[in-house]
Structure 1
Amino acid sequence: MKPCVIVIDKDLALMNACARLFPNVSHSLSRWHIQENIVRHCKPSFKTEIEWDKFLYKWEMLINSTTVDDYNYWYDRIRERLPRKKRDDIMDYLLSN
């Protein structure tokens, strides 16, 4: 029985092994690793803990969206309310990772 999706971290050895053993299976980064990366790369862009908490709330709503409309709504809320000077950097990070 082959898996449909493999949830991994960014360990290169694991990624390579999965790609060799299961070449037609999708790989996804674990939610825990995604959250850790968001904290590491995005949190320094926020001046206050309140701003950061608001961003995290919207991020949680986005990733827990159950419809396309909900997802688009929270995506727009995140983008519109990011610090202006860091908006492009944060959105580029979110979209590429």
Structure 2
Amino acid sequence: MKTPSEANVTSNQCVDVLSEQRKQYKGKEFYGVIKHFQDKSLVDLNQYFVVELFEDGSPRNIFWADGRLRDAYIKFGDSVVFDVIYVTNKFKMPFSPIVGVNHHGQSILFGGALLENEKEETFQWLFEHFLKCMFNKHPSAIITDQDKAMGNAIRKGFPNTRHRYCAWHIKKHELEHLRPLETHYSDFKESYRQWVKSDSIEEFEARWEVMCGKYNLKK
């Protein structure tokens, strides 16, 4: 049987209580992460580890790279791939690995982050500490998806780095957006293929203008 105080609890109060409990849980779990990196720093003097906290002391952003990852970046960090893997960890925070390719063609990790969100200022914070960690060596190229906030942060944090879009994401968008055109125009698929395989910028742009007129794409 409910007591009078329990009966008067509103749904909003329940949300507030659960939110506070989740924050306390995250804080306790995060303490274990910080302790882990502090212990590692005792045996790896080249480890880089930074945490940004909210005013109440709860975790906001975290970035880390040990000495081995920093050394790998100096050797193979001309091009990096940056992505966000959303809330697949116990903290329910976006995980952001920064990876590259070594001289054997193998994927290698340069650093990792747990972020508060996917806003421009959050990415700017990450890129700022990534450069501090990597001795201010800017990558020649960075490959990402087509996220606008990410692109804005890259322009500010890596002004001289060539920003390229990931081919996997482009192919994914092709499947989403081109199917109606392929259905409506029998020759569209071949025209599109020829456009993508253009040999020069001039040919690419000229074919694009032709396609826009022929298939009414400008709208």
TM-score by length of 1: 0.54
The separation in 2 between residues aligned to 1:28 and 1:91, in whole angstroms, is 23
Greater share of residues in helix: 1
Q: Contact (CA 8 Å) 1:10, 1:29: kept in 2 or not? A: yes
SS of match in other structure, 1:81: helix
The separation in 1 between residues aligned to 2:169 and 2:202, in whole angstroms, is 26
The separation in 2 between residues aligned to 1:40 and 1:72, in whole angstroms, is 23
Residues 16-38 of structure 1, C-alpha deviation per residue, up to 9 Å, x if partnerless? 7x739x43223221223223212
Name 2:211's counterpart in structure 1.
Answer: 78
The separation in 1 between residues aligned to 2:146 and 2:212, in whole angstroms, is 26
Aligned-residue CA RMSD (Å)? 3.3
Q: Contact (CA 8 Å) 1:58, 1:77: kept in 2 or not? A: no
Q: Which structure 2 segments of 5+ residues have no match?
A: 1-136
Greater share of residues in strand: 2
Name 2:218's counterpart in structure 1.
Answer: 91
Residues 39 and 57 of structure 1, relative CA distance in 2, 3 Å threshold: same
Name 1:19's counterpart in structure 2.
Answer: 154
Q: Which structure 1 segments of 5+ residues have no match?
A: 93-97
> Identity across aligned pairs (percent)?
19
1:19-38 aligned at under 5 Å gives the runs: 19=154, 22-24=157-159, 25-38=161-174
Q: Contact (CA 8 Å) 2:181, 2:188: kept in 1 or not? A: no
1:61 is the counterpart of 2:188: no
